[in-house]
Structure 1
C-alpha cells in the first residue's frame, strides 16, 4: 500500500512539472546576486535609499539575498524611460524607480506630474499613503512587478543660467532640459519655453556648454550635482510637480523567494523608503532651511514665489492639466484632488 502511494506521489510530481506548475519557492534556486536599478547614485537621497534597501535586505535575510545597485540606469544604457520595461522582462530584478520615468508605460503615473496638483508635502503623503497610492500599486501589480513602498525624489524646482524666473513670461524662449515625458514637454510648451528631452547623463554637459539654458529638479539633486558649477545661477522655488519613487521587485523574482524572505524584503523596502523620504525633505523647510542656505552660499540667487505669482504659472498651464487629466483618468484625478483637499 505504501509503495503504491509513493509511486503515485512521484507520478504526480512529474505530472505537475509537465503541466508547468511551479514548485514551492523554497525549492527554487536563489540567484547569487540580484540587480537593482536606480537613476542616481549614493550622493543623492534616491541612490542612498536604494543602497539602504540592499543593505537591509542582506541583513534581514542573513545574506540569502544579495543585491547590487546599478546607478545611472546603466542596465538600460542610461535610458531612464526603458527601465520599467526591462524590469518587467527580468533584465532588471529590482528597482527604486521614478513615477515620471515609468509614466510612458503606465499612464496613471502621470498623475504626479500634473502641473501644480500638489502644493506641499502633506499633499504628496495624502496621495501616496492613501487611496491613490493603493490604486497605483494595484495597477503596477498587474504589470509583472510587486510594488512595496513609496519613496520620494522631491518637488522639482526650476533653474537657469539667464535670469530670475518670476512670471511665465520669464520662461518664454528658454531652452529647457526636461525628462522623457510628453507631459513635461506639454507643460513647458504651454509656458512658451523650448523644451528638450534629455537623459540626466547628458544634461549636465549640455548645461555646461550652454546647449540648454536651464532644467528642473529637486533641491537635493540640484545641490548634490553641483549645478551652480554649470551655470545654473538662478533658482526659482515653484514646486510645480513632485516625483514619488517606488520600491519594486520583478514578480518572477518575488515568487522565487520563500515567504519569510518576501516579508523581509518588504519590511526592508518600507524602512529604507521612510528613511529616504526624510533625507529628501531635509533642509528645505521653513523650520530647517540648511540646504537652501548652502545653495545660496554657492552664489545661486533663489526666488521664492508669492502665492499670486505661483498661481500665474498654474493658470498658464491649466489647459495642459485639463487635457492630461482626461488621459490619466478623470475618476483617479478627482479622487486625488479630493484627498489633497482633505489633507
Structure 2
C-alpha cells in the first residue's frame, strides 16, 4: 500500500514537472496597441487569437496582449514589431505610412459607402497587393480588422457643413491623406498620438478630433470637453493586425500556418464584435450630454464635394494608376 501511494505520488510529481517544463519552454508572443481593454480588437485577440494560437501549436506558443499604449506610442509599437522586439501590433492603418505609403489610398475621404463594401475591397485582390509591401518592411499582415467610420467631435460648435470646420484646431493621426483632407476643409490639423489625445483636448491644445464611436467612448472624450459630435463618417478606417516577419520566418511551417489561421479567425470575430458594439458606443456617448448632429444626405454630399481636390493630391503622391485601380475596385464592390 505504501509502495502504491509512493508510486502515485511520483507519477503525479512527474506530470507536474512535465507540465512545468512545457509551460516554461513555450514562446511568448507579445502584441501591443493603443486600444483599450474593452475594444473589440483587444477582445478578439485575447479571446480568439490567444486561445487558438495555444491550441493550434499544442502550447508551443502563448500570447500576451498589451493594450492602452503600455509598450509605447503607435509608431514605436509598429517599429517594435518590425524589429522583432515584440511579435505583433494592431493599430490604425494611418500608423503604417512609413512602411507602406501606398496604403494611404484607402484613406481617401468619403470613398466607402458602408463597411461591407470596404471589406470586399480589403479581402480581395486589392487588399492582397499590400501584403508583399508589408513583408518588405518586416511585417506580415495577419488581418484587416474594423476600426470604423471616423466622426468629428469638438468643443466649440456643431458641425453640419464644411464651413463649420474653418479655423478649428483638430487632432489627427500622422496621416498625410487625413491631414490634407482637413486642411482642404479649412481646419488646422495637429498630429498627436492617441495616448496624448485626452490631455490635448482637456487643456485646449486642440478644439476637435475625429474617431470612430468606439474610440470616442473608450477614451471618454466627452469628459475632455468634446460637447459636439457629427456623424461625418468621412473616413472608413481599418486596424492592420501585423506580426513580425522575422519571428514568423523562424517558426516551423506548421506553427507559422497556425498563427495565420488564428489571425484569420480573430479578424472574423473582431469585425463581428465591432458591428455589434457600434450602437452601444453611440448610445453611451449621447448619454453624457453630447449634442449630436446627424448629417442629411445633401449635407454629406457637400462634404464629399469639398474634399474632391484631395483625390488629385493623392494621385500626384501615390500615382494615378493606383488611385484609379482602387476606385474601380470600390465601385465593383458596391
Per the shorter chain, which TM-score range? Answer: 0.7 to 0.9
1:113-192 paired onto structure 2 within 5 Å: 113-192=107-186
Between stretches 260-269 and 292-301, larger displacement belongs to 292-301
TM-score normalised by the chain length of structure 2: 0.86
Instruction: Give ranges in structure 2 of 5+ residues lacking alignment.
Output: 1-24
Residue of structure 1 in register with 2:307 after alignment = 317
Candidates 58, 64, 87, aligned match of 1:62: 58
Q: Give the drift of 1:95.
A: 1.9
1:20-72 CA-partner distances (Å, limit 9, x unpaired)? xxxxxxxxxx8732221222122212322332322321232232111222224
Matched, 1:208 2:202: yes
2:172, 2:179 within 8 Å by CA — same for their partners in 1?
yes
Between stretches 257-266 and 150-159, larger displacement belongs to 257-266
Partner SS for 2:27: coil
1:204-283 paired onto structure 2 within 5 Å: 204-283=198-277
Residue of structure 2 in register with 1:51 after alignment = 46
Distance 2:277 2:43 in 1: 17
Q: Give the drift of 1:279.
A: 1.7
Distance 1:211 1:88 in 2: 32
Q: Give the drift of 1:331.
A: 2.2
Partner SS for 1:34: strand
Residue of structure 2 in register with 1:195 after alignment = 189
1:54-93 paired onto structure 2 within 5 Å: 54-75=50-71, 78-93=72-87
1:237, 1:303 within 8 Å by CA — same for their partners in 2?
yes
Equivalenced residue count is: 309
* CA gap 1:197/1:31 in 2 versus in 1, 3 angstroms: farther
1:263-289 CA-partner distances (Å, limit 9, x unpaired)? 2211111111111111222254xxxx4
1:104-115 paired onto structure 2 within 5 Å: 104-115=98-109
Instruction: Give ranges in structure 1 of 5+ residues lacking alignment.
Output: 1-29
Residue of structure 1 in register with 2:11 after alignment = none
2:153, 2:229 within 8 Å by CA — same for their partners in 1?
yes
Q: Give the drift of 1:156.
A: 0.8
Residue of structure 1 in register with 2:289 after alignment = 299
Residue of structure 1 in register with 2:91 after alignment = 97
Candidates 26, 37, 41, aligned match of 2:36: 41
TM-score normalised by the chain length of structure 1: 0.84
Q: Give the drift of 1:73.
A: 4.1
